A and B are shown apart, each in its own frame.
Chain A
Amino acid sequence: MADLSVNFAGIRTPNPFWVASGPPSNTAYQTHRAFEAGWGGLVWKTIGTPIVNVSSRYSALDIGGQRMVGFNNIELISDRSPEVNFQEIAEVKKRWPNHAVIASLMCESREQWHEFIRRSEDAGADGIELNYGCPHGMCERGMGSAVGQQPLVAERITGWVMEVAKIPVIVKLTPNITDITAAARAAKRAGANAISLINTINSITNVNLDTFASEPAVRGMSSHGGYCGPAVKPIALNMVQSCAADPEVRIPISGIGGISNWRDAAEFMAFGAGTVQVCTAIMHHGFRIVDDMIEGLNSYLDEKKMRSVDDLCGRAVANVTTWEKLDLNFRQVARINHDTCIGCNLCYIACEDGAHQCIDLLNPDSLGLDLGPGRVPHKHVPKVREDDCVGCNLCTLVCPVDRCITMVEVPTGKPPMTWVEYQAKVASGEMKPLPPHH
């Protein structure tokens, strides 16, 4: 068994799975349930001056019958008083001394920040997360993403926090920004102990074509919300990797964004996340999902002979680079395994209409193919014209059968050459510019 316990910027938790700040982390009751289910830490629903919420508050993107592929909310921070929240944090900490409770805060002034930090510490919180990310409602009042989108403002406020904080401070970043590393660097400069990302992305999920209202609809009107759930994972991974690879950041990262299972979590960890935070998947299926996350990560670490989460952390960061450093002389082509091909021809039509027209439908008899049962005799089958295949990968992505189409390397016999090297060679006259296709 691998050791799943982590020390994240000084916050120790039995495992790297934290409940993210949001509806599931609103109360002591929920926190007890979360820790009973096995979550290692929990970031409390953001505490600030109590707000008033609207109804309804959530909407979702369903795709192909799959519910909540993407999720959107216009719920604000905690609508309960700071007194109740801090009192409940204290209760939880008494019962769960080895689990971490991180107080998420959103304040309006330096004085309020100082006060709430002190009260968080008094309640026994293990750390503080600064909510600079909330992209709806609060930002209209100069808080949340309004802070996160201006690195200098974020830096100044983080400075106020660091003046007094005695427990680790995590700055939560908004993805609604052109360059995430600018915000991450600002947090680092101000002395923050860690960053967490991503918060939700500005979104409108749909338009009701009968009422022309968007959802969630509040008396026929809606508002820009925050987008999360499985659909945002690629965006979050990109931003986490960018921060992890930035030499000017170099502080622990808590990964957030569409994490639903151990595999998602492990990917964030491979990109440098020391812990991961989950909200939407809990809103969909409950706290119980952590059981599989713990088991799955454990099995994976054992299989890879890694003894702890630290062994995995950051393993993939260096394998992402800029486009100009990729090898232009590496070539691969798609190859279709006709033994497992089911004859849907999706690869054919995708390549034909959507890519580079290099799959033919040919008579299987002329190819000497022996197709499986259920295949229509003499019905044409897809075959890649490898000389013309650009290796784009589209066919493997649309193919509904695992490993039926594989990308096979075709040695070019040429040494690796990046775009940078190519430009230099062309400039020096060593080689002529390449035609668009060769």
Chain B
Amino acid sequence: MADIQLPMRQMEARVEANRCLYCFDAPCIHACPTGIDVPAFIRKIAGGNEIGAAKTILEANILGASCARICPTKVLCEGACVLHDRDEKPIEIGRLQRHATDFVNDRGIHVLKPPEKKNGKSVAVVGSGPAGLGCAAELAQLGYQVTIFEKSKLPGGLNTYGIAYYKLKPQLSLNEAELVKDLGVDIRCGVEVGRDISGEELQRDFDAVFLGLGLGDGNRLGIDGENLPECLDALDFIEQIHTKPLHEIPVGHQVVVIGGGNTAIDAATQSVRLGAKRVTMVYRRGESQMSAYPFEFEKAKHDSVHFLFDSMPISVVEVAGHVVGIRLARTRMTADGKLEMIPGSEFTQECDMILKAVGQEKQAEIMRGIFPKIAVGLGGVITRDQMSGATNVSDIFVGGDCANGGREVVNAVGEGKKAAHGIHAFLAGERASLPIQPSRLGVDGSASGCGLHNPIRAHELEAHWKANQSTKNSGEHRG
């Protein structure tokens, strides 16, 4: 299954890197949840210093190679590029980042080195997904002895098991886990906290604990026939692509995907690539309410995916224990903003496979089981301090999907990193230095900064501007 985004050739990368203005205190840094010094690494590419560029990237974001492929750059760094305001195409930051990280990966060059001295303190990290690896890499570089506990056979979490194959190959995710190991981190796979080792033991054996558990199993539809063999969780379906030869993965001729998020799009586009004849996405609300990014929606349309909006599943139609269709009904909004089924609107969509992508379970119950004292907030996410990842239990820190309810991979890495700084402040009483460009005004952190503090997003910029315009306009009317 071919990469959807092609790598850059050397000359292409040079030309693109030379377009970068090398902004000072650049908006793209503010837009990166891991605070990569984007102009710095791009300037290094322009000058032929790919190794230095990779170092700049990986020091800030250990998953820089996978983020280069899967980050929604259009709403993050590239969305913030100042060239938009000069009516030009933004710099292709994602592809340049891939160029630099590929350069060192392909040649087996190690740009990060473990610190020569350990500080004698140890931290346990639960979960080896993006948050766990982000936290572990940062702590290792700060001198901590870090042990990661991972319940799966392989490290990497979502990046290894749950991203569309044409975006990110699992091997790349495993390489990134190797990078973390190279920093001296011990990754123990097949060890489930709460079963093989208790929370109490972690707290006893380590100076601090970081929880990066991610989310749980896919949510259920709660309809009849959901347990039939052809009715799968979308993430389980994607996981097969990562773990089996492609020709061994069963895919329907007519696939129905339930959901309107990015995982639903991944499931739909992957089905097309595996040979499904007709793929239909069913979403209970309208196009504008889809949580998938517009460019992902476009991708699905390109793949000839059909869309049924304002429709919800009622039951699975089965014959002899197999899926043959799905009963759907039209939906509408009530006056008080609730979604309701339109009576009598039921219809059947033929299909032989159903993929469910309606969100994942929160880990609240598991958490309470392992650490009974930990506070869990609304929506089943762990309560924590946004900046430090600190929970109500002093030696337990948290980050990633289990704390934010489910966001981008890059947010998870950033939160892991912030929690590492929180742990460092807790254990060593020191503030880790951040990749802030030095300036006379940056001393108090007010003028300069990076996305690690408070990442911005392109659509937020747009919304902010529109709000300003409307207040301005309404002011004029009043005047």
Contacts and interface: CB of A to CB of B under 8 A. Distances in A.
Given A352-B439, A374-B462, A346 B21 contact: yes
B18 A65 contact: yes
B276 to A, nearest CB: 39
Interface string B439-479: 11100001100000000101011101110100010000000
Given A376-B80, A379-B30, A380-B441, A344 B462 contact: no
Nearest to A66: B18
Given A352-B439, A374-B85, A380-B441, A345 B461 contact: no
A348 interface: yes
A373 B462 contact: yes
Contact of A361 (B18, B25, B461, B466): B25
B476 to A, nearest CB: 12
A371 B24 CA distance: 18
Contacts of A357: 440
Interface string A337-371: 00000111110110010000100110000000011
Determine the interface band of chain A, counting residues with CB < 8 A from chain B.
Answer: 20 to 34
Contacts of A345: 23-26
Contact of A400 (B21, B84, B440): B21
B46 interface: yes
A284 interface: no
Nearest to A378: B464
Interface in B8-31: 14-15, 18, 21-27, 30-31
B21 A344 contact: yes
A400 B88 CA distance: 12
Interface string B410-452: 0000000000000000000000000000011100001100000
A375 B85 contact: yes
Contact of B465 (A352, A360, A374): A374
Interface string A187-228: 000000000000000000000000000000000000000000
A374 B461 contact: yes
A371 B447 contact: no
Nearest to A372: B85
A179 to B, nearest CB: 38
Contacts of B468: 370
A352 B440 contact: yes
User: Among B23, B26, B30, B82, which residue has the most Cβ atoms of chain A within 10 A?
Assistant: B82
A380 B441 CA distance: 10
A344 B440 CA distance: 17
B18 A346 contact: no
A401 B15 CA distance: 20
A379 B31 CA distance: 12
Contacts of A343: 23, 27, 82, 85
A435 interface: no
Given A344-B23, A377-B461, A370 B472 contact: yes
A401 B466 CA distance: 23
A342 B441 CA distance: 20
Nearest to B442: A361
B82 A342 contact: yes
A64 interface: yes
A345 B30 CA distance: 14
A131 B461 CA distance: 62
B373 interface: no
Contacts, number: 80
Interface in A153-211: none
A344 B18 contact: no
Interface in B358-402: none
A357 B440 CA distance: 10
B86 interface: yes
A379 B455 CA distance: 12
A77 B44 CA distance: 41
B86 A64 contact: no
A387 B25 CA distance: 25
A432 to B, nearest CB: 33
A400 B86 contact: yes
Contact of A375 (B14, B15, B23, B461): B461
B80 A374 contact: yes
A242 B129 CA distance: 69
Nearest to B86: A342
Nearest to B471: A370
B463 to A, nearest CB: 10
Contacts of A348: 24
B23 A376 contact: no
Interface in B55-107: 80, 82-86
A360 B458 CA distance: 26
Nearest to A347: B24
A124 B275 CA distance: 77
User: Among A64, A65, A345, A352, which residue has the most Cβ atoms of chain B within 10 A?
Assistant: A345
A372 B465 contact: yes
Contact of B23 (A65, A346, A370): A346
Contacts of A64: 18, 46
B86 A401 contact: yes
A401 B439 CA distance: 23
Interface in A32-87: 64-65
Nearest to B25: A345
A377 B441 contact: no
A351 to B, nearest CB: 11
A342 B46 contact: no
Contacts of A344: 21, 23-24, 26, 82
Nearest to B82: A342
A343 B22 CA distance: 11
B54 to A, nearest CB: 20
A412 B464 CA distance: 42
B120 to A, nearest CB: 40
B14 A380 contact: no
Contacts of A400: 21, 86
A375 B465 contact: yes
Interface in A372-394: 372-377, 379-380
Given A342-B82, A342-B86, A401-B86, A373 B23 contact: no
A360 B446 CA distance: 13
A379 B440 contact: no
B21 A65 contact: no
Nearest to A404: B86
Contacts of B82: 342-344, 374
A400 B23 CA distance: 10
Contacts of B464: 377
Given A65-B14, A345-B24, A380 B447 contact: yes
A346 B441 contact: no
Contacts of A65: 14-15, 18, 46
Contacts of B441: 360-361, 380
B24 A349 contact: yes
Interface string A313-355: 0000000000000000000000000000011111011001000
Contact of A379 (B18, B22, B27): B27
The 10 closest A-B pairs by CB, nearest first: A349-B24, A342-B85, A345-B24, A65-B18, A344-B23, A373-B465, A342-B82, A64-B18, A380-B447, A377-B464
15 contacts: A65-B15, A65-B18, A344-B23, A346-B23, A348-B24, A352-B439, A360-B441, A361-B441, A373-B466, A374-B465, A376-B27, A376-B80, A377-B461, A377-B464, A379-B27
Interface of A: 64-65, 342-346, 348-349, 352, 357, 360-361, 370-377, 379-380, 400-401
Given A377-B456, A377-B461, 14 more contacts: A64-B18, A344-B82, A345-B26, A346-B23, A348-B24, A349-B439, A361-B447, A370-B472, A374-B458, A374-B461, A375-B27, A375-B461, A377-B460, A400-B86
